[in-house]
Structure 1
Amino acid sequence: MPTSETVAKLYDEMDFQRAVQCYLWALPIVSWEGGRQANEANFGADYDDVTLYGDYRTLSTAFTPNLTTPYSWAFLHLAEQGPTVVEMPPGATAGAIIDWWERPITDVGLVGPDQGRGGKYLLVGPGQDTPEAPGFHVFRSRTVHVPFFFRVLNPEADDAEAIKAGVRIYPYSRHEDPPPTRHIDSARDGELRTMVPPGGLAYWERLAEALAGEPGEDRDRFFRAMLRSLGIEAGKPFQPDERQRKLLIEGALVGEAIAKTCAFHRRFVGIRYRPDVRWNYLISPDWALNQDVDDYTQLEERSTFAYEVLAMSAGSMPTKPGTGQTYLCAYWDADGQVLDGAKSYRLHVPPNPPAERFWAVTVYDLDTRCFIQNKEEIPERSSRTGLKANDDGSVDVYFGPTAPAGLESNWIPTVPGKAWFTYLRLYGPLQPFFDRSWVLPDIETLQ
């Protein structure tokens, strides 16, 4: 018979292991709850309001965005509003409506059912009756909370403003006379709240908030059972005792370390873009958009993605050249060393990058996964920002604390003492990307 000391030790060990696994399981909804809270704190936004993350300051609160195509965000609450309409105007946009667990419900814009012609999307929540809605694209969400985001792809300011102003969100019950949608174009003054999940006990407080009102799914029943022993239970306030607090804090610490390991040392089959370079695909080639395959749910794939990125869409896994967008990631230089903010580097982008619309290189802080915070407020260079090209049409992008003489337009400032990583985005990727005939060299250390 186990002694009382052994019993206490083993229960602590079991609940600590549960905390670590629940940390990884919960990353998508903790991140999205962070996004909702940031939207509220930074913009004063409520559900169904549309906010614009359009500059370096506001986008610095988000996970791995790009600066070339500013984002608009909104959050729906289908339990409060009932079936809800998202109305997209015509125009070149890319975005998605997704559920609380990072599963795309539908893309909108060029890759969505409206194909850029504009359309009305009706979202129906769990347990709600589906209205007869001719002329609407009707989709059912498995969660009560529904995030929505989009980007305007054309750079013309007038077109972009008209498209953004044309987005409307309203309850379907009022579709015959829709109320106006509130668009909030600038964040509040002062320090902005980040979407990055907090550490320690605050992670679990946010998880309890994210789970509130959400129906459980069969695939999550064991995780919800594990959370009960840690003080998180549906319909009850989160009030952990001292023992639970200690285990939760330790579990969050180890959970984040595992998530960072999974993100920056991915072990998925086929994750390398080419065997002769260190560039990885951001999204595992065998990723299932709904995260479920024949006999399991892609838990590690999901937590890896959610640690580093917010907002999944079908358009991020294009199969047809010239559509959607794709991402290559670099966490190391050509010698396999961590990218150091105190050193200088060069990325040689060969001629004719396989992107129909544009390409961009963006630098992120390794710890926050947000834009690198440099005094110049330059985290990105793209084919739309006036890069200086070489005679053969190739482009050299430079990273480092000081700009190379005469090539300031090609330079992204880094910060000594901060490790970083980068994405190469291809909007409208072309066949040389899909067949991997376009070779992107590794990042070269200059000093």
Structure 2
Amino acid sequence: MSRMNRCVYALATIGMLGAAAPLHAADANPYPFKQGYPTQAASQHVRADEVLQRAIVAYRFWYPTVSIEGIFNGNRSVGIEDGKQWGLAAAGPRQIGFTLNSDTPYGSGVIDLSEGPVLIEIPPGPFIGLVNDHNQGWVTDMGLPGPDAGKGGKHLILPPGYQDKVPDKSEGYYVAQSPSLKNLLALRSLPLDGNLAKAMAAFDGVKVQRWTPQGMTGSALQAVDTTKLALDSSSLKWEDNIQFWEKLDKIIQEEPIQPKFLPMYGLLQELGIQKGKPFAPNAATKDILTRAARLGRDQMLVSAFDSQRPEIKNWQDRHWEWVGLVPGTAQFETPAGIDLDARDRWFAQAIVTSPAMFRRDAGAGSLYWLSARDSQGVYLDGGKQYTLTVPQPVPGKLFWSVTLYDAQTRSQVQTDQDKAALRSLFELKDIDTTKPVVLSFGPKPPKGDASHWIKTVPGRGWFAYFRIYGPEAAAFDKSWKPGDIVRQ
């Protein structure tokens, strides 16, 4: 019997596959020792506990890896092939994905480096883009937050281990190297004049093609418009069951080992996932891994929606919270190490990372605040009516929006209204910017003008994101603040 199977057998033997009670200091010692040695009961209990504990830690660490595979799978589900096509969408509620929004059209696709470097050419214009590796690690920024600063540029993405000579910045290239073979290209075209069609057409100037020192080779990625398609770019269908581990194993087998993650690969090995070996869990192992997925997911959601960190609020008299808790970093780095709680919070509700996304100064490309509670601190309920008063003008050079998300799917609320956002470039473009605007949320339209209303679903919780693009100093120094969401 393998060590993994012995551990699982021990877990089943002492009943840990059922409801597990947390250990407290006041509890009787579950690990009795005699003359300095573990008793048989202690060994059984330790082996049982460590399997579940290691699986939960592994789940939370590798969650971003499986989550980005969900993005890839969303495109694949509508026939978009890795490394051959990419999808474009003026996204709406029909596109399921963690806190996707309707503010700007998206372009996304798999950059496959298995056959060599790929060149992403972006024309001048209001683009915001990035490349993330297969673990949602930051590789590079493009467009306004990138080194080309919106002036257009050639972004050359190198595969892991690539050492041949490459062009430099003097030749108009910006070079970045990824540690993984498959990467996510995510690009947004900003509709600064409120013209979505024009913003979508701007993608025509983007070219993604394989690169060699001798020049371009092969065909450029073909664009596929997915605006009207109902696709799921999330990991929801995998995140609470054995499929999470199956998807993770597939990625581990396909990608090179990243040395900085060696301890976490070791953790997976203890669970039966190891590069070069088949993942073949028995029924008991599947049970414990499924349990770990459910517990790990729920623990992450507590970080997302019930954080107790005091620095989470920009204004202590409001329930708006910072979504990103570690300002100005790409991977939640602090002088003391990686902030794992901040990492969990982000990836439980959002996707992709970049240092530009987490800046808290007037040079930031955008900012994100979250509110999951009303003015009394009660979670927002899809069956109740609410208002939000937004003082004008909002301190943003470009535009702002409020978007509603379903708490369970972390995706835009879906109703027959087919609307989840109120945006300064669209629904709110004609408001009087000399006085506050009142927005309404609930299952029924407000009395009178319903143009500033988003419909919600009874029986389902929801939360809101307040986004400002091109935020100005007043958004950070507390001289401006939005109202709380108030139940009517």
Residue 390 (structure 2) aligned to one of 345, 349, 353: 349
Deviation per residue, 1:398-438 (Å, 9 max, x gap):
00001112221100100000000000000110111021110
- Larger relative contact order (C-alpha < 8 A, sep ≥ 6)? 1
Does residue 146 in structure 1 map to residue 183 in structure 2?
Answer: yes
Question: Residue 81 of structure 1 corresponds to which residue in structure 2?
Answer: 115
Residue 123 (structure 1) aligned to one of 148, 157, 166: 157
Q: 2: distance between equivalents of 1:119 and 1:159? A: 20
Deviation per residue, 1:121-173 (Å, 9 max, x gap):
11112211143213311111122221111111123345424420111111112
Q: Is contact 1:346-1:398 (8 Å) kept? A: yes
Between the two proteins, what is the percent identity of the paired residues?
Answer: 29
The alpha-carbon deviation at position 204 of structure 1 amounts to 1.0
Does residue 182 in structure 1 map to residue 219 in structure 2?
Answer: no
Q: For 1:199-218, what aligned pairs fall within 5 Å after superposition?
A: 199-218=240-259
Cα pair distance change 1:356/1:188, threshold 3 Å: closer
Unaligned runs of 5+ in 2: 1-36
The alpha-carbon deviation at position 305 of structure 1 amounts to 0.7
What SS is found at the alignment partner of 1:210?
helix
The alpha-carbon deviation at position 319 of structure 1 amounts to 4.8
Question: Which amino acid letter does the alignment assign opposite residue 77 of structure 1?
Answer: D
Question: Residue 12 of structure 2 corresponds to which residue in structure 1?
Answer: none
The alpha-carbon deviation at position 270 of structure 1 amounts to 2.0
Cα pair distance change 1:390/1:137, threshold 3 Å: closer
Q: 2: distance between equivalents of 1:186 and 1:218? A: 37
Q: Which runs of 4+ in 1 moved over 6 A?
A: none
Question: Which amino acid letter does the alignment assign opposite residue 114 of structure 1?
Answer: D
Question: Residue 55 of structure 1 corresponds to which residue in structure 2?
Answer: 91
Cα pair distance change 1:393/1:58, threshold 3 Å: same
Question: Residue 474 of structure 2 corresponds to which residue in structure 1?
Answer: 432
The alpha-carbon deviation at position 4 of structure 1 amounts to 5.0
Cα pair distance change 1:269/1:170, threshold 3 Å: farther
Deviation per residue, 1:281-309 (Å, 9 max, x gap):
11114463133333422322212211110
The worse-fitting range, judged by mean Cα deviation, of 108-117 and 409-418 is 108-117
Q: 2: distance between equivalents of 1:251 and 1:176? A: 46
Question: Residue 11 of structure 1 corresponds to which residue in structure 2?
Answer: 47
Question: Residue 90 of structure 1 corresponds to which residue in structure 2?
Answer: 124
Residue 113 (structure 1) aligned to one of 139, 142, 147: 147
Q: 2: distance between equivalents of 1:412 and 1:42? A: 29
Cα pair distance change 1:143/1:294, threshold 3 Å: farther
Does residue 290 in structure 1 map to residue 290 in structure 2?
Answer: no
Question: Residue 395 of structure 1 corresponds to which residue in structure 2?
Answer: 437
Q: 2: distance between equivalents of 1:194 and 1:285? A: 26
Q: Is contact 1:90-1:163 (8 Å) kept? A: no
Q: For 1:242-321, what aligned pairs fall within 5 Å after superposition?
A: 242-286=283-327, 288-321=329-362
Question: Which amino acid letter does the alignment assign opposite residue 433 of structure 1?
Answer: A
Question: Which amino acid letter does the alignment assign opposite residue 75 of structure 2?
Answer: N
The worse-fitting range, judged by mean Cα deviation, of 282-291 and 11-20 is 282-291
Cα pair distance change 1:129/1:188, threshold 3 Å: farther
The alpha-carbon deviation at position 323 of structure 1 amounts to 4.5
Cα pair distance change 1:300/1:215, threshold 3 Å: farther
The alpha-carbon deviation at position 373 of structure 1 amounts to 1.2
Question: Which amino acid letter does the alignment assign opposite residue 180 of structure 1?
Answer: A
Cα pair distance change 1:30/1:437, threshold 3 Å: same
CA RMSD of superposed structures (Å): 2.2
The alpha-carbon deviation at position 361 of structure 1 amounts to 0.4
Unaligned runs of 5+ in 1: none
The alpha-carbon deviation at position 229 of structure 1 amounts to 2.0
Q: 1: distance between equivalents of 2:271 and 2:433? A: 62
**Bigger CA radius of gyration:** 2
The alpha-carbon deviation at position 385 of structure 1 amounts to 2.1
Does residue 27 in structure 1 map to residue 63 in structure 2?
Answer: yes
Q: 1: distance between equivalents of 2:327 and 2:470? A: 20
Question: Residue 465 of structure 2 corresponds to which residue in structure 1?
Answer: 423
Question: Which amino acid letter does the alignment assign opposite residue 231 of structure 2?
Answer: L
Q: 1: distance between equivalents of 2:177 and 2:118? A: 11
Does residue 36 in structure 1 map to residue 77 in structure 2?
Answer: no
Q: Is contact 1:268-1:284 (8 Å) kept? A: no
The alpha-carbon deviation at position 444 of structure 1 amounts to 0.5
What SS is found at the alignment partner of 1:226?
helix
Q: Is contact 1:69-1:152 (8 Å) kept? A: yes
The alpha-carbon deviation at position 57 of structure 1 amounts to 5.2
Cα pair distance change 1:287/1:266, threshold 3 Å: farther
Cα pair distance change 1:182/1:58, threshold 3 Å: farther
What SS is found at the alignment partner of 2:312?
coil
Does residue 100 in structure 1 map to residue 138 in structure 2?
Answer: no
Cα pair distance change 1:97/1:42, threshold 3 Å: same
